[in-house]
Amino acid sequence: MELSKDHIERLRELLARPAQRIVILSHTNPDGDAVGSSLAWAEVLRGMGHAVTCIVPNKYPYFLDWMPGIEEVVVFKTDTEGRAARAVSEADILFCLDFNAVSRLEILSDTIEANTTAVRVLIDHHLSPDAGFDLVFSHPDSSSTCFLVYCLIEALFGTEAITRRMAELLYVGMMTDTGNFAFSFLTPELFRAVAVLVEKGIRIPDIHNSVYNAYTEGRARLFGYAINRKMELIQDGTVAYMSLLESEMRRFQFQQGDSEGFVNYALTIKKVKMSAMFLAHRKFIRVSLRSRGDVDVNLFARKYFNGGGHKNAAGGKSFVSMRETIDHYVRSVAEFAAEGHLG
Ligand code: 5GP
Ligand code: MN
């Protein structure tokens, strides 16, 4: 990972000011990379004597509950005491981790737009970051934000500064964002970083079990239902989609995070190059997109669903009914294919 020396020096100067009040923000529907990178970075900053508050817009999935320090993360949506708003208004520095635009904070966006003049630092691996950050570490060629944070710690202090606790947190994001080391950007540097984390004493099988084998019975049954009853193939079997209505989710006692991985599953079918999941929420439908190889779902998400993300994993939203959303998807896929984007 080539980090800009100038940027590192600017970060070092920023952090050399004593006892800064720091807020670390991450994206809506926080995942293992969002939480892992935020908590690890918080540990580093606290070690330097700064006061740190980690904030996420809504709750992280229950299978991350075990992560060291997660109980201190302020969940804006259920924060009745106003801790998040207060921390933001008092902050000297805001670190934005694992997202590329303030709009990705959704219900928390207004608080950030209105309540702070803090210095804004972006540490992220999504494509096309927004303007408006004072210092930008944007590395779309990093497989996770956790790996990027690892590289920042290494550049600032050397890997000696990484504790076992930080190592566990960083490993979670490296593992989850790469689909357990199966997706892109699996560089030698990443595996060298993992080797260092192993030297710190992390237990990979335990972390794997805690994240991937910790679902409820309802989730397992919902998965079977979704694949068997709700998965559809179009475009001569090369494009898949799946949808879940709120009533269907209720039937399986759905909890936040239960649909994690469903959208990837269609890509286990050899012919499938692109897959979508439509998940109904009260006010809109959340769209998840995945692809393999050269099929660019970041482009697709931007063009048709007002979203974005990475080339092979992206998302967006739809504000019409499930039926209309699916019709729009089917039409958009046909147009995308006609323009040559499906190979
Ligand atoms: P997921 O399907 O796991 O929710 O998201 C996959 C990727 O797409 C993530 O990197 C996420 O940040 C991005 N993404 C998901 N939803 C949206 C959205 O509404 N807007 C943008 N710009 N990116 C999104
Ligand atoms: Mn990430």
Q: Which atom of ligand 1 is nearest to the CA of 314?
A: 8
Ligand 1 contact via 315 beta carbon (within 6 Å): yes
For all residues of the chain together, what is the average pLDDT? 97
User: What per-residue confidence (pLDDT) applies to 206?
Assistant: 98
Ligand 1 contact via 219 beta carbon (within 6 Å): no
Q: How far, in Å, from the CA of 309 to the mean position of ligand 1?
A: 5
233 Rama sector, left if φ>0, alpha if ψ -120 to 50, beta otherwise: beta
Q: How far, in Å, from the CA of 100 to the mean position of ligand 1?
A: 10
User: What per-residue confidence (pLDDT) applies to 34?
Assistant: 98
Rounded Cα gap, residues 243 and 261, in angstroms: 13
Q: Which CATH number fits domain 5-211: 2.30.30.240, 2.60.40.1510, 3.90.1640.10, 3.40.462.40?
A: 3.90.1640.10
Q: How far, in Å, from the CA of 219 to the mean position of ligand 1?
A: 21
Which of 64, 185, 284, 288 should be mutated for ligand 1, with most atoms under 8 A from CB? 288
> Which fold, 217-338?
Diaminopimelate Epimerase; Chain A, domain 1 (3.10.310)
Rounded Cα gap, residues 309 and 268, in angstroms: 21
Q: Is 144 exposed, middle or buried (0-12, 13-18, 19+ CB in 10 A)?
A: buried
Ligand 1 contact via 173 beta carbon (within 6 Å): no
Ligand 1 contact via 61 beta carbon (within 6 Å): no
Are residues 173 and 145 in contact, defined by beta-carbon separation less than 8 angstroms? yes
Q: Which residues of the chain fall short of a pLDDT of 50?
A: none
Q: Which of 64, 15, 6, 13 shows the shortest CA–CA distance to 37?
A: 64
Ligand 1 contact via 291 beta carbon (within 6 Å): no
pTM passes above 0.85: yes
The CATH 3.90.1640.10 portion of the chain extends over 5-211
- Strand-strand pairing, 93-97 and 74-75: unpaired
Rounded Cα gap, residues 131 and 28, in angstroms: 19
The CATH 3.10.310.30 portion of the chain extends over 217-338
Ligand 1 contact via 314 beta carbon (within 6 Å): yes
Nearest CA to ligand 1 atom 11: 309
